Chains A and B, each alone.
Chain A
């Protein structure tokens, strides 16, 4: 009886501890402690300022230092972080957040509503450079209700507000370090946040080192420091983890995945991602008018052997698309598939009078996993159903963007490969690709897709406060888009992470982020 009570007490205590810090139930007591976790990444940070940062991996790192009001957990759900509760007014124009108490910045200053207001004022200031602030510009003002309550006043409803707030763009930095000199704010190259780590050292081009902050309000990480090595070559990253000179690496060469999976000294995590890879048709193509017909585009979708490409070219690092967005997004619903069927493709093309189609194709190289390689195989598949393919041509990324990001009248390619990864896992971000208001050069809807019904549905869903209604609207829109086939729907890329068997607790978040916060030596 006594042991039972004791056991209950222990379990109860652990449960309380787990609830009290907002982490997703990772056991902390008893994990081994470690010195430095070395992680090799492929991008060199251009800036450490959360407001200006647009690269997911760097945002990932900054998020270990600067926390947000809410965060995404490893399964993609929004969880409380610096805000513990929130309410919306019935018209959706006011959001009130209850802030966590007892939190301090790493320089000792208290975290409170004034700090939140100061940060919002900075990012929403028209003079600030905030590339990802667009969707948040509906916020008119921020009010401090009291120390632990803050109110956001909106000019129009912002449906994905919670999702937006998970982005480190809207992370909370120590207000004392936000100085306004004239009309510009000082750069935050060494941001001071409330997170479990602080930015200790940055050697441009070589590494970024984070140091554990022992005054952190939540569960402390197991590693005293995490060092991010900047290694642009994928094969070099693999060399590092194989030689034991790095503990975790991101994005190894995909062709080595089978061998790495067989290697007992490392573990491979094919993290679920949210990056859809597709080939956009020029649906307003004036040169190749046949592409304006949905039947032709559907036919071409049937011509591609996606499973074979995923197996042989991507080495299993992707899953076929079954909707115009990834399954990890809010608003996703499974729509269907275009199974590989050469005869069906040919007969559909013939029925549409498109048996002698000629198209040109471009693809980036090295931007997405095996992008150019896949494009070549796609070109072959198209040739096999009687299409005359010019290309795929490739070019470096800035030139590529310059080629596809043009108004329809200036479009010069019939099909191009692209990837799209929404940062905060909301359908509104994915659906940007299908809104006619987002045609280049205003936006990046490079297929120039236009369907008035879809436009209406999306406009409604994007401002709807009722989340379940939103989901329904997005689903209906998805089904229509799938039928209209403005894209060759290809696959959803996974995010391969390889780590040493001597390390455990390496997780991921489905927006192409790694989560090594609570990793520990094995």
Chain B
């Protein structure tokens, strides 16, 4: 187990480095002069040059690259061009909100998705299956921003039941989390259904049934546990999808998370923050995948020894 863990870690490191390099290249490829953008409209050429020197943008590219890697290792992401606060602080003050939103959405998606998928698989080709499968396909086809707007119209303005925007009420999280969860619910339900179908068709399930084990026990103790593996993979991938979906959801619901920060920073040309955020998204996803792989290996011993 330990060697497996170490191996997975070793694989993650070059990937992280690759992510950082891609971000560096993207940032330098961008058209426009970042120094001028940071200096602002009313700045003189002298201001712009001063800022260029301050940011090290006048150094040759390889030097900039090494500086960049070095500052990353020190967890120094620079300062925001827009607010002049450290990028780490800008991201750090908003990250808990996104984590909260993504976590709630994930829990909702996993619980509802797995239940729905199992139900649909067990009652294959029945009306229930049809309804659940249809809703799942609807779920992954629905544009998040449209759903969000519709929910606001119905629940906030129409019924005055839930907050239309912001994060300061206890019920503020309901609408954004539901909106965000929709795509994942559909995907997890579909994945669970097909995985369960595959497992339910196996010999050992038939054996268990023939041996007289009750339906519930068969489903949950035997079938679901074996069906879990691909589901875990999907859940891991969903974390990335939820982070991406958060960008849209947070904008519609004025939720103060990093998704909205990304959009705002792009519009302000706040490159240090954009860079920091893209890095953060990448690093988060790699770490989550690592955890998923480790979880995988824990659940399925065969993988550890392959």
Contacts and interface: CB of A to CB of B under 8 A. Distances in A.
A and B touch in the complex (CB under 8 A): yes
B157 A402 contact: no
A239 interface: yes
Contacts of B252: 233, 236
A204 interface: yes
13 contacts: A129-B84, A205-B97, A207-B168, A231-B165, A231-B254, A233-B254, A239-B152, A239-B157, A239-B164, A242-B157, A245-B163, A245-B164, A398-B37
Interface string A38-82: 001000101100001000000000000000000000000000000
B305 interface: no
Contacts of A397: 267
Contacts of B82: 46
B84 A47 contact: yes
Contacts of A242: 157
A1 interface: no
A203 interface: yes
A206 B164 contact: no
A237 interface: yes
B167 interface: yes
A231 B166 contact: yes
Interface string B110-122: 0000000000000
Contact of A229 (B93, B166, B251, B267): B166
Contact of B168 (A129, A187, A229, A399): A229
Contacts of B169: 245
A203 B165 contact: no
Interface stretch (B21-29, B63-71, B256-264): B256-264
Contacts of A244: 160
A204 B157 contact: no
B253 interface: yes
A232 B261 CA distance: 12
B306 interface: no
B165 A240 contact: yes
Contacts of B251: 232-233
Contact of B256 (A40, A131, A230, A442): A230
Interface in B109-158: 152-153, 156-157
A242 B83 CA distance: 32
B32 interface: yes
Contact of A232 (B152, B153, B254): B254
A205 B160 CA distance: 24
Contacts of B45: 441
B244 interface: no
Contacts of B157: 239, 242-243
Pick from A205, A230, A242 the residue with the most CB of B within 10 Å. Answer: A205
B41 to A, nearest CB: 5
Interface in A268-326: none
Interface string B155-195: 01100100111111100000000000000000000000000
Nearest to A442: B44
Which of B40, B94, B164, B268: most chain A Cβ within 10 A? B164
Nearest to B92: A204
A205 B256 contact: yes
Given A396-B267, A401-B41, A240 B94 contact: no
A206 B168 contact: yes
Contact of A240 (B85, B97, B164): B164
A441 B45 CA distance: 9
Given A206-B97, A232-B264, A243-B157, 11 more contacts: A44-B264, A205-B93, A205-B97, A230-B166, A230-B254, A231-B166, A236-B252, A243-B156, A245-B166, A397-B267, A444-B42
Interface in B236-259: 251-254, 256-257
B90 interface: yes
B165 A204 contact: no
A441 to B, nearest CB: 8
B269 interface: yes
A405 interface: yes
A203 B156 contact: no
A187 B164 CA distance: 34
Contacts of A401: 41
B260 A205 contact: yes
B167 A206 contact: yes
Contacts of A402: 32
Q: Which of A44, A232, A236 has the most CB of B within 10 A?
A: A236
Interface string A201-218: 001111100000000000
Contacts of A239: 152-153, 156-157, 164-165
Given A204-B94, A397-B267, A243 B164 contact: yes
Contacts of B156: 239, 243, 245
Interface string A457-498: 000000000000000000000000000000000000000000
B86 to A, nearest CB: 11
Interface in A362-405: 396-399, 401-402, 405
Nearest to A203: B256
A245 B156 CA distance: 9
Interface string B4-38: 00000000000000000000000000001000010
B152 A206 contact: no
Nearest to A245: B163
Nearest to B80: A46
A236 B152 contact: yes
A236 B151 CA distance: 12
Nearest to A240: B164
A40 B156 CA distance: 16
A165 B157 CA distance: 43
A486 to B, nearest CB: 20
Contacts of B97: 205-206
Contact of B165 (A44, A187, A237, A399): A237
A297 B152 CA distance: 47
Contacts of B165: 40, 229, 231, 233, 236-237, 239-240, 245
Contacts of A134: 42
Interface string A131-175: 100100000000000000000000000000000000000000000
Contacts of B94: 204-205
Q: Give the 5 A-B CB pairs with smallest separation, nearest first.
A: A205-B256, A239-B164, A206-B256, A236-B165, A46-B83
Interface in B53-99: 82-85, 90, 93-94, 97
